[in-house]
Copies of this chain bind each other. A is one copy, B any other.
Amino acid sequence: MTTIPLEPDELLTTTRSVRKRLDLDRPVPIELVRECLEVALQAPTGSNQQGWHWLVVTDAGLRAKIGDYYRQSFEAYRASPTYGGRASGHSAERQAVQSRVSGSAEYLAERMGDVPVHVIGCITASEELPAGNQAGLWGSLLPAAWSFQIAARARGLGSAWTTLHLRYEKEIAELLGIPPNVRQGVLLPTAYYTGETFKPAPREPLDTVLHLDRW
């Protein structure tokens, strides 16, 4: 499969979380998912350990069960006091963005089980870690997951980065036979994109989060 030709910046700035514009009726060829994973495996890992594992779930029954867990977790999340940017002191403009994000997240939560491909990125976590250094662990998996999404976007696929399933990490591990020393890091529902173009999203200005030399 030839990818869509794109300038690097355009590719990186238009790979968005796709939640509403996922084609739930069109199957995704497994070969396309494999291509995206081949690209993902070129991401770096700490000490080149490559301790990742990738669950690709297309079985409808399994997806429905994952979707049930996801929806339950989303319901709990929706009831939390910070849901949708509540009590965050955002500007009206930002609050409007947050409202759209929440609506889109609710839409996906209702349909997670129907998204044709669930990709779950996992990592072996049995090795001794420096105390508290979970950033080191996740740094050996999450860049590859992001590469997967970018490679998917270059093939006309949309995906979303979700972690709400982790509330039921043990249940999903049992469902899929994931060993106890393997941690799930991200669930990437993936499907053909039904939108026409991918656009960059509004963001807070760089200077609000950039610190030169000192905070």
| Given known A-B contacts A48-B101, A135-B186, A138-B142, A209 and B53 have beta carbons under 8 A apart | yes
B residues near A214, Cβ cutoff 8 Å: 55, 62, 176-177
| Given known A-B contacts A13-B39, A42-B201, A151-B12, A211 and B56 have beta carbons under 8 A apart | yes
B residues near A98, Cβ cutoff 8 Å: 47-48
| Given known A-B contacts A127-B82, A166-B135, A48 and B211 have beta carbons under 8 A apart | no
Contact size range, A: 35 or more
Residue A4 contacts which of B8, B85, B200 (CB distance < 8 angstroms)? B8
Chain A binding surface SS class: mixed
Distance A96 CA – B53 CA, assembled complex (angstroms): 23
B residues near A46, Cβ cutoff 8 Å: 161, 163
B residues near A128, Cβ cutoff 8 Å: 80, 82
